[in-house]
Amino acid sequence: MVHAGPHRVAIFVYDSVTLLDIAGPAEVFKEANRFGADYRIVLLSPTGADVTSNLGVRIAVEGAVSSEPAFDTLLVAGSDLYPRARVPADLADAARIPAAVAGRVASVCTGAFVLAAAGVLDGKRATTHWQVAHELAARYPTCRVEPDAIYVRDGTTYTSAGVTAGIDLALALVEEDHGPDLARDVARALVVYMQRAGGQSQFSAPLQGPPPRSPALRTITDLVTANPRGDHSLGELAKHLNVSTRHLTRLFHDELSTTPARYVENIRFDLARALLDQGHTATQAASLAGFPSYESMRRVFARKMSISPAAYQRRFSTARRANAG
């Protein structure tokens, strides 16, 4: 849908706001103007006072968010502070009214915590950075958190994942306003993907859960971790502890909320990712990580990350390997 007049975008900022949450989307909208869009961007704070970013950079704002008329788009930037602490009531209150009257509302990364504190995400699907998605879900149980999404749209409310996902979200908003051709021009100009394949899992750290409380189960998890290529069938693992397969399965379910087979798969998957990062071929990674075949590893990558091992390696192989030769 192409807007007939200027499209007013307000970026809501506050002390300790993440600078890239502001700059990334703003660059997308500014670049879109070069190709015929007409976005008018303003930075607004809760009180109209200038704010200081997470990097200590002073950010000049154009006024208080409450003093402005309704915006076409209200974009709430995030901060590292609020996954660790409750969003202050005055900050949530400052976001609540403009969010209620804006044409659409969006958040970047942990800006979702501000929207949730303002009640904007009640009963809605949303996402945030994968590291704190569980905290958003626990703190705001009526919000249906999708931890693997790059961005989520629920009606006129949009939320996005980690800081650079704000660029993905802004491109999606530009495409919604002006169509795919203009959005594609912007993506090419900024040298970014028009739409990234896969979800946040491709960026997340390897599984590093707490050790099991049970000494018996810890023996098994240590065994699998030390030798992922071993025979770790349910029967062999149960035999190692001299327990029944049913008892071992119950131990895994009660302490780790998974099955023995899925635990082994996760350990092999994490090792395969590390091997791909180091420059091993996909076939080598599958063998060294203990997968029965490359095809079995490929199926796990497809299920967990929505991309193939080769696609993962193209995106995340080290710069050293890319520049070798």
Give the relative orientation of helices 180-190 and 165-178 as an angle to the nearest 10 degrees.
Answer: 150
Domain count, the chain: 2
List the structure tokens of 184.
């594609």
Final residue belonging to a domain, choices 150, 174, 190: 190
Q: What is the reported pTM?
A: 0.71
CATH number for the domain harbouring residue 175: 3.40.50.880
Question: pLDDT digits over 33-90, tens only?
Answer: 999 999 999 999 999 999 999 999 999 999 999 878 899 999 999 999 999 999 999 9
Same domain, 55 and 177: yes
Same domain, 220 and 158: no
Residue 143 is a catalytic residue: no
CA 102 to chain centre: 25
How sure is the predictor about 306, in pLDDT bands with cuts at 50, 70 and 90? confident
Residues 160 and 68 in one domain: yes
Same domain as 43, residue 164: yes
Distance CA 65, CA 242 (A): 65
The answer on 240 and 168 residing in a single domain is no
At 197, is the pLDDT very low, low, confident or very high (cuts 50, 70, 90)? Answer: low
pLDDT tens string 121-173? 999 999 999 889 989 999 999 999 988 788 999 999 999 998 789 999 999 99
Task: Catalytic residue, from 51, 76, 108, 109: name it.
Answer: 109
* Residue 207, in any domain of the structure: no
Contact 291, 308 (CB under 8 A): no
Are residues 167 and 42 located together in one domain of the fold? yes
Determine, yes or no, domain membership for 1. Answer: no
CATH number of the domain residue 279 falls in: 1.10.10.60
What is the share, in percent, of the chain residues with pLDDT greater than 90?
67
153 and 291 fall within a common domain: no
Contact 150/200 with Cβ under 8 angstroms? yes
pLDDT value of residue 162: 81
Examine the pLDDT at 294 and tell me if it is beyond 90.
yes
State residue 193's pLDDT score. 73
What is the full DSSP assignment across 237-295? HHHHHT--HHHHHHHHHHHHSS-HHHHHHHHHHHHHHHHHHTT--HHHHHHHHT-S-HH
Q: Give the integer Cα–Cα distance in Å for 150 and 128.
A: 8
Rounded Cα gap, residues 205 and 214, in angstroms = 25
What is the average pLDDT score of the chain?
A: 89
Helix (H, G, I), strand (E, B) or coil at 128: coil
Lowest-confidence pick of 5-14, 39-48, 264-273:
264-273
Q: Domain span at residue 149?
A: 7-190
